[in-house]
């Protein structure tokens, strides 16, 4: 089987290949880190220039009424379309960490659920830091972290047993950052509800590449960043979704200006908005929101179902060539093999993962620069955004890793780990 030929054939029939031209690309580079930071859409450059030079530079304060307030509403509407929520159940603003704090704090103080906080060993460390900071608001002044005897995949039976025996507020990553494990969201939401619990989903590694339907999956609360597969730019604002089923029972712990029901009446007494806007606080970060708007436009144009289908196909192809070319070099696949249990990156493991990453990023006269990322202790994450990653990109990446291992090129590289990625 000619895997190179297969890649070229798949690329020739790829309906999404036209979207790569919408991004700033480097012809001598293969970018496989969209699960950490998405590429820059060309339209974002144009829109930012327009915002800075004309709206801010010339129109100044008038642009709030003419452009910026309406822009926030438009972005929220587009996000609601992407996740199939009502328009007044989602907003984009603040960071993922801040939004996670808000929603967990609200739930702990709503008296709708037992005041317990539970997460698991697969959750993103930053989320667990936020959860740890809320332990004083729990009944036992502690949090529970479920362990599955590995840090790669969830044991659903263990999780369900915990929900039964320790009901309350759970926080999980829909797609895990290390292995790309994808939780069965609908199954777990229904199980939680039947056991007087709620799951707050961090969708950072899922939004823009997984079909998240909050209504069909019976999701009640979710957050997620916009700078990965939504290509919103470094540090771009997070989204927050709260179902109307619980929204009226929750009060934002930060009583800020834009969370007021009538912010421009400048009333001395705070009266929260009666919809998702109650979770707003300060003035929207306009310059950070501009690229999010562009990124959402691209994803909606491509169609999330089409994106997911290509993601599955890319993943299956990548696993095939890894098995054929790399397993003999003691490379292990740390991600789920089944597509239904996997997001849009595949993690491989090797004892020389750090040095392999450094060599890939450096490139040489025989191969392109290849940008994956490293996660301790021995993980190489290969992220594939269907909007700009091709099948031949994955083929060339695997062959590059094979060459490095065959020739033991890593022995020439310093093994210090001062940086995650380095050019």
pLDDT digits (tens, 9 = 90+) for 213-265: 999 999 999 999 999 999 999 999 999 999 999 999 999 999 999 999 999 99
What average pLDDT score do residues 82-101 get?
96
What does the block give as tokens for 205?
A: 């590694």
CB 334 within 8 A of CB 348: yes
CA 94 to CA 225: how far, in whole Å? 10
pLDDT at 131: 96
Instruction: Provide the token pair at 73.
Output: 């509403």
Provide the pLDDT confidence category of residue 105 given band limits of 50, 70 and 90: very high
Q: What's the mean pLDDT in 319-331?
A: 97
Topology annotation, domain 3-31+303-412: 3.90.1150
The Cα–Cα gap between 394 and 319 comes to 10
Q: Which residues contact 209 (CB under 8 A, 6 or more apart)?
A: 229, 304, 307, 308, 311, 343, 344, 385, 386
Task: Calculate mean pLDDT across residues 89-113.
Answer: 96
pLDDT at residue 152 in the model: 85
Domain 45-302 in CATH 3.40.640.10? The answer is yes
Token reading at 301: 């144009």
- Are β-strands 379-383 and 144-146 bridged in parallel, bridged antiparallel, or unpaired? unpaired
Per residue in 34-48, pLDDT tens?
Answer: 999 999 999 999 999
Question: Cα dist. 352→122, 335, 355, 364 in Å?
Answer: 23, 18, 6, 19
Q: Which range among 40-44, 392-396, 411-415, 417-421 shows the weakest confidence by mean pLDDT? A: 417-421
Is pLDDT of 319 > 90? yes
Query: Do 207 and 224 contact (CB within 8 A), yes or no?
Result: yes
94 closest CA partner among 234, 239, 208, 207: 239
Work out the average pLDDT over 196-219: 98
Asked if the model's pLDDT at residue 331 lies above 50, the reply is yes
pLDDT at position 418 is 60
Pairing of strands 169-173, 198-202: parallel
150 vs 72, more confident: 72
Three-state secondary-structure class, residue 169: strand
Decide if pLDDT at 423 tops 50: no
Euclidean distance between CA atoms 322 and 402, whole angstroms: 9
192: pLDDT strictly greater than 50 = yes
User: Which pLDDT score, from 0 to 100, does residue 377 have?
Assistant: 87
Residue-level length of the chain: 423
**What would you measure as the largest C-alpha separation in the chain, in angstroms?**
73
Residue 199: helix, strand or coil by DSSP?
A: strand
Residue 158 has pLDDT above 50, yes or no: yes
CA distance readout (Å), 281 to 98, 240, 253, 261 = 11, 13, 10, 12
- Residue 422: the pLDDT is 43
Please state the pTM of the whole predicted model.
0.95
Residue 404: pLDDT band with limits 50, 70, 90: very high
In angstroms, rounded to a whole number, what is the distance separating the alpha carbons of residues 266 and 127?
35
Rounded CA-CA distance 397/395 in Å is 5
The confidence score (pLDDT) of residue 42 equals: 98
Domain boundaries, the chain: 3-31+303-412, 45-302
How crowded is residue 160: how many other Cβ atoms within 10 Å of its Cβ?
15
Position 413 scores a pLDDT of 86
Mean pLDDT, the chain, whole residue set: 95
């Amino acid at each position: 089987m000619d895997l190179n030929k297969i890649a070229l054939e798949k690329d020739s029939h790829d309906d999404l290949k036209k979207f790569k031209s919408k991004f700033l690309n480097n012809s001598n580079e293969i970018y496989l880190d969209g699960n950490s930071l998405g590429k820059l859409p060309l339209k974002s450059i144009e829109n930012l220039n327009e915002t800075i030079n004309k709206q801010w530079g010339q129109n100044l304060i008038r642009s709030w009424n003419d452009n910026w307030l309406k822009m926030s509403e438009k972005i929220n509407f587009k996000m609601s379309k992407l996740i199939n929520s009502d328009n007044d159940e989602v907003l984009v603003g603040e960071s993922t960490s801040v939004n996670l704090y808000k929603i967990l704090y609200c739930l702990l103080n709503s008296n709708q659920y037992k005041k317990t906080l539970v997460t698991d060993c697969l959750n993103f460390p930053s989320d667990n830091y936020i959860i740890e900071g809320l332990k004083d608001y729990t009944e036992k002044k502690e949090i529970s972290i479920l362990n599955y005897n590995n840090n790669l995949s969830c044991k659903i039976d263990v999780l369900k047993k915990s929900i039964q025996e320790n009901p309350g507020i759970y926080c999980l990553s829909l797609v895990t950052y290390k292995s790309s494990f994808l939780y069965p969201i609908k199954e777990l939401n229904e199980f939680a509800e039947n056991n007087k619990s709620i799951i707050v989903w961090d969708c950072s590694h899922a939004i823009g590449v997984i079909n998240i339907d909050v209504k069909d999956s019976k999701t009640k609360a979710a957050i997620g960043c916009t700078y990965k597969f939504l290509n919103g730019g470094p540090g771009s604002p997070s989204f927050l979704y709260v179902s109307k089923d619980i929204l009226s029972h929750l009060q934002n712990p930060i009583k800020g200006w834009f969370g007021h029901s009538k912010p421009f009446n400048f009333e001395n007494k705070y009266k929260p908005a009666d919809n998702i806007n109650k979770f707003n606080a300060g003035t929207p970060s306009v310059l950070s929101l501009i690229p999010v708007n562009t990124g959402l436009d691209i994803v909606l144009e491509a169609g999330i179902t089409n994106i997911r289908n290509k993601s599955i196909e890319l993943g299956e192809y990548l696993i095939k060539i890894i098995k054929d070319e790399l397993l003999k070099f003691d490379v292990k696949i740390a991600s789920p093999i089944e597509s239904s249990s996997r997001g849009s990156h595949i993690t491989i493991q090797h004892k020389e993962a750090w040095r392999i990453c450094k060599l890939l990023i450096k490139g040489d006269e025989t191969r392109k620069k290849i940008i994956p990322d490293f996660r301790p202790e021995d993980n190489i994450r290969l992220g594939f955004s269907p909007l700009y990653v091709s099948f031949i990109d994955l083929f060339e990446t695997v062959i590059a890793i094979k060459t490095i291992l065959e020739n033991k090129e890593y022995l020439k590289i310093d093994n210090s780990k001062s940086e995650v990625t380095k050019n």
